[in-house]
Amino acid sequence: MPSFASSAGVQNNSTEGNTTNPSRESCFGLLKHSIAVHNDLEATTKQSGQPLASVGVTASASKVESLRSHQQKGQQPHLLFLSSQFENWGDSTMADASPRTDTSTDLDIDEKNQMLEQGQLAVAGASDSSDRSKDKRLDQKTLRRLAQNREAARKSRLRKKAYVQQLESSRLKLTQLEQELQRARQQGIFISGSADQSHAVGGNGALAFDVEYARWLEEHNRQVNELRAAVNAHASENDLRSIVDGVLSHYEEIFRLKGIAAKADVFHILSGMWKTPAERCFLWLGGFRSSELLKLLANQLEPLTEQQLMGICNLQHSSQQAEDALSQGMEALQQSLAETLAGSLGPSGSSGNVANYMGQMAMAMGKLGTLENFLRQADNLRQQTLQQMHRILTTRQSARALLAIHDYLSRLRALSSLWLARPRE
C-alpha cells in the first residue's frame, strides 16, 4: 500500500480552517481535521503551515499509524488512524473539505456518520490537555465502537443482499430444472414406448432413474402430507391404516425401481448422485441406514410399552448387525478386487503377462458383478426394517414414525438446498 509522503501542495485545507486551533478544539474538531487530511491521501499543512509527516497506510483492519504534527503552541496531537476500508478512500465523498474545517467544535452528525460509514476512524488525542484527556479517551472509545457497529451493520446488509441474490438465482435455476425435468420425463415416456424396456433402461439408466426417483419423491411427499393431515385430524384406525399401508407399499416401489436401475448402472445407485449432497453424506450402500433411523425413532415414539420398546431396540440391534455384516462383505470385495488388479501388475512385454492381464480383468469383472447383489441385500434390509417396525408398533405409532422419518430426511434435503445456495465470499 502506498505511503503518503508529505507534499508541498495541500488540496483542501491549506486555504481554510487555519483558524482552528487544535489545542482549543474538542476531540471532534481534531477528528474532522485529521479525517480531512487522510481523505485527501496527502499530508496536510497545519495552521502553522508546516507539513505533516508522512503517513504509511495499509489496508489491514487495525493498522494504526500515528501522524505527528507540530503545533505552534507546542501541542503534539497524535492522530491515530484506523482503516479497514482503505479502498473506499478513492470513493470518498469528502474530497471537498470545505465544511470540515470550520470553527465549529461540534462535529456534524451527518459528516460523522459519513466518515464512519466509509470505515475510517481518526481519533485525535492531544497529549497535553490532561484535564480533558479522560473525556477525549471516552469519546475515542465511543467513536471507535460506533464506527465498528456501523461497519458491522453495513457488512451484514451486504451479506444479506448477496444471500438473497443467490436465493433468487437458485430459484430461477430450480424452475428451469423443473421444466427440463418435465421435458425429459415426457421424452422418457416416449423412449420406453418406442424401444423395448431393457434398451431404454440400459441406454440411459442413470437419467431414467433420476427422473423416476423425482416422481417417486413427489408422490411420497404427497402421501406423507395426507398422512400428517389424517394424524392431526385424529382419523379413524381404518383410515389411518390404509394411508400407512399406502406409504409402506410406496417405499417398496422405490426399492423395486432401484433394483431395476442397478441392473443397468449399479455405480450410479451406489454413488448416491440421485440424492442431495447432505443425504449423500450419510449414504450407506446406496441408501439410508436403517439402524440410524430406528435410533431417531426411539425418542419420537413415546409412549411405548415395554414390549414395544424391546422390539424396537432389538430391531435396531439386529439391523446394525446385518449392516455391519454387509459392510464387511463390501470390504472383502474391495480387498479382493484390489488384490486381483494388483496381481496383474508386473514386468510388461511377455505374452504370458498379457494373458494374465486378461484373466485378471475377467476375474475383476466377475467381482464387480456382485455389487448389484450387495445393493439388493442393503435395500432388502431397509425394506425389512420398515415392515418389522410397522409390525411392532400400533397404526398410530407407525404413522408418527413414518412422519418422523420423512421430516428428518426432508431436513437433510433442505440442508442441501441451503448449502448449495449459501453466499460465498
Partner 1 sequence: MVAFVGHCISMDRVAKLAAQKAVVVFSVSSCCMCHAVQRLFCELGVSPAVHQLDEDPRGREMERALEKLVGRRAPAPVVFVGGELVGSTDRIMALHLGGKLKPLLRQAGALWL
Nearer to partner 1, 204 or 319 (CB): 319
Residues facing 79 on adjacent strands: 67, 124
How far, in Å, CA of 33 to CA of 69, rounded? 12
Q: Phi and psi for 78 in degrees, rounded to 5?
A: -105, 125
How far, in Å, CA of 114 to CA of 103, rounded? 19
Nearer to partner 1, 237 or 324 (CB): 324
Q: Is the C-alpha dihedral spanning 108, 150, 142, 61 positive or negative?
A: negative
Segment interacting with partner 1, rule: CB under 8 A, options 8-16, 101-109, 126-134, 323-331? 323-331
Residues facing 83 on adjacent strands: 120
State yes or no: residue 326 binds partner 1 (CB under 8 A): yes
CB of 193 to partner 1, least distance (A): 32
Among 110, 109, 126, CA closest to 34: 126
SS3 call for 124: strand
Alpha helices in 195-236 (DSSP H): 197-203, 205-232
State yes or no: residue 344 binds partner 1 (CB under 8 A): no
State yes or no: residue 201 binds partner 1 (CB under 8 A): no
State yes or no: residue 84 binds partner 1 (CB under 8 A): no
User: How many CB atoms are closer than 10 A to CB 172?
Assistant: 10
State yes or no: residue 360 binds partner 1 (CB under 8 A): no
First to last CA, the chain: 23
How far, in Å, CA of 12 to CA of 97, rounded? 6
CB of 234 to partner 1, least distance (A): 31
CB of 307 to partner 1, least distance (A): 12
Among 289, 359, 357, CA closest to 323: 289
Q: Which position among 52, 269, 312, 330 is part of the footprint of partner 1 (CB under 8 A)?
A: 330
CB of 346 to partner 1, least distance (A): 21
Q: Which position among 68, 324, 418, 422 is part of the footprint of partner 1 (CB under 8 A)?
A: 324
How far, in Å, CA of 35 to CA of 124, rounded? 10
Could you tell me which residues come within 8 angstroms of residue 192 by beta carbon, excluding any fewer than 6 positions away?
200, 208
Q: Which position among 71, 271, 370, 394 is part of the footprint of partner 1 (CB under 8 A)?
A: 370
CB of 390 to partner 1, least distance (A): 12
Q: Phi and psi for 231 in degrees, rounded to 5?
A: -65, -45
How far, in Å, CA of 238 to CA of 259, rounded? 32
Nearer to partner 1, 125 or 286 (CB): 286
Segment interacting with partner 1, rule: CB under 8 A, options 162-170, 175-183, 269-277, 329-337? 329-337
CB of 318 to partner 1, least distance (A): 5
* Binding track over 372-411 against partner 1, x by CB under 8 A: -xx-xx--xx--xx--x-----------------------
Could you tell me which residues come within 8 angstroms of residue 120 by beta carbon, excluding any fewer than 6 positions away?
35, 38, 39, 81, 82, 83, 85, 88, 89
Q: Which position among 202, 246, 259, 311 is part of the footprint of partner 1 (CB under 8 A)?
A: 311
**Total count of residues recorded for the chain:** 425
CB of 187 to partner 1, least distance (A): 36
State yes or no: residue 318 binds partner 1 (CB under 8 A): yes
Segment interacting with partner 1, rule: CB under 8 A, options 24-32, 64-72, 104-112, 328-336? 328-336
CB of 173 to partner 1, least distance (A): 41
CB of 354 to partner 1, least distance (A): 23
Nearer to partner 1, 298 or 325 (CB): 325
Looking up cell 408422490, which residue turns up? Answer: 219
User: How many CB atoms are closer than 10 A to CB 351?
Assistant: 7
Residues found near partner 1 in the complex (CB under 8 A)? 311, 314-315, 318-319, 321-322, 324-326, 328-330, 332-333, 336, 367, 370, 373-374, 376-377, 380-381, 384-385, 388
